[in-house]
Amino acid sequence: MDSSLPRTPSFNLAGKRALVAGASSGIGVGCAVALCEAGAAVTLVARSKDTLEELQKQMISEGWDATARPLDVTDVNATKQMIENELPFDILVNSAGMARHSASLDTTTEDFDAVSELNIKAGYFLNQAVAKKLIEAGKPGSLMTISSQMAVVGGIDRAVYCATKHAAEGYTKSQSIEWGIHQIRVNTICPTFVRTALSQSTFANPERKKWIESKIKLGRVAEIEDIMGAVVFLASDASAMITGTSLLIDGGWTAD
């Protein structure tokens, strides 16, 4: 009789290379820090050169392996070229995203195109570029998109944002089916409202804050730290059988 006990797969990311897009602020910073803490070498990508380089300095001062690569991921060709010139990334976290909220009757084509360009097109081809490099090298990988609870529900004044996040769920599922044979996992993380510099104006509105807290069953908004453990989990061997799905970090928003 085999008396050996199972052992929990490792959460350690030592020896892994990670790419974090949208790394210069908010959730992106949290994702980059979480991966570094778990031992990964992290490449930081964002448009803001100064902010990105300051973040790199802070992370290096902690003894972590961090490299800044100023880049606008909506420039698909430049993004593909950067990834092609690098060694394969074992881990991708795409935290680059935007929102322009308005009532559906007031949506402009300019807003629709801008949000779609980043949330759908840039994310799609970012996944593609990282996956191609992994497949060429015969390596497994974990690709994550920071999506939103709005990928599974609707929201007032958020039709365009919801549309793009629903779309990201669609390409995530399809890519996971195609790339599974290569042991490349593709998932999304779907947070509720997270307290960041970008969300301050929302929480400053008493009516909107009350509405948000009424929807979150845990009775509080999310903090950046609430996302960090999920990123390490999906990046690591502990989630080796998870692909083509979304991890909701919504405090119960979508439970009813």
The domain segmentation of the chain, as residue ranges, is 17-249
Counting as low any pLDDT under 70, the low residues of the chain are 1-2
Total number of residues shown for the chain:
256
Q: Annotated catalytic residue: which of 64, 89, 124, 161? A: 161
Fold of the domain spanning 17-249: Rossmann fold (3.40.50)
Active site residue 124: no
pLDDT in the model for residue 208: 82
pLDDT in the model for residue 201: 75
Q: How far is CA 111 from CA 94, 125, 153, in A?
A: 21, 21, 21
**List of residues 6+ apart from 90 with CB closer than 8 A:** 16, 17, 18, 40, 134, 139, 140, 141, 142
3-state secondary structure of 104: helix
pTM above 0.85, yes or no: yes
Residue 91 β-bridge partners: 18, 142
